[in-house]
């Protein structure tokens, strides 16, 4: 299961933005970036990407609800420490992203009866 989760996270990171890691010194890689706002820009196009990614995750039978929550919450925590501008979101956006994640996962699970692959 960890192998599939790792592959999914790796693919979403590689295909969702340009990896220009050399721009950022290594010492800044794990710096905490506090969101500037509690509610600004609470829904954006990344919210739709979250919905789609977790809908795809919902197709995998071996992924349980606790796997989903672990990946979802873990990703939002990782975003607090990444040096990239796309991760600068409000607290409400992070909360709503988890709502979009759950919606994508749940809707696919409801219509496909616990996944269709793996």
- How far is the C-alpha of 2 from the C-alpha of 12, rounded, in Å? 15
This prediction's pTM = 0.72
Q: Is residue 117 a part of any domain in this protein?
A: no
Q: Is residue 71 a part of any domain in this protein?
A: yes
Q: Is residue 55 a part of any domain in this protein?
A: yes
pLDDT over 50 (residue 64): yes
116 vs 91 pLDDT, higher one: 91
Q: Is residue 78 a part of any domain in this protein?
A: yes
Surface-to-core class of residue 93, CB atoms within 10 Å of its CB (0-12 exposed, 13-18 middle, 19+ buried): buried
Residue span of the structural domain in which 79 resides: 2-112
- How far is the C-alpha of 90 from the C-alpha of 7, rounded, in Å? 27
Portion of the chain with pLDDT greater than 90, in percent: 47
Q: Is residue 118 a part of any domain in this protein?
A: no
Q: Is residue 106 a part of any domain in this protein?
A: yes
Angle at Cα 96 formed by Cα 33 and Cα 74, nearest 5°? 55
Q: Taking residues 1-13, what's their average pLDDT? A: 58
As for how many domains the chain has, the answer is 1
pLDDT over 60 (residue 28): no
């Amino acid at each position: 299961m960890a192998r599939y989760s790792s592959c999914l996270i790796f693919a979403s990171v590689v295909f969702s933005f340009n990896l220009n890691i050399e721009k950022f010194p290594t010492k800044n890689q794990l710096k905490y970036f506090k969101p500037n706002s509690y509610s600004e820009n609470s829904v954006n196009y990344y919210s739709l990407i979250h919905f789609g990614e977790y809908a795809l995750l919902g197709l995998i039978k071996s992924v349980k609800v606790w796997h989903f929550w672990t990946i979802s919450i873990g990703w939002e925590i990782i975003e607090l420490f990444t040096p990239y501008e796309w991760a600068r979101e409000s607290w409400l956006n992070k909360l709503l992203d988890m709502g979009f994640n759950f919606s994508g996962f749940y809707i696919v699970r409801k219509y496909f009866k616990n996944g269709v692959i793996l």
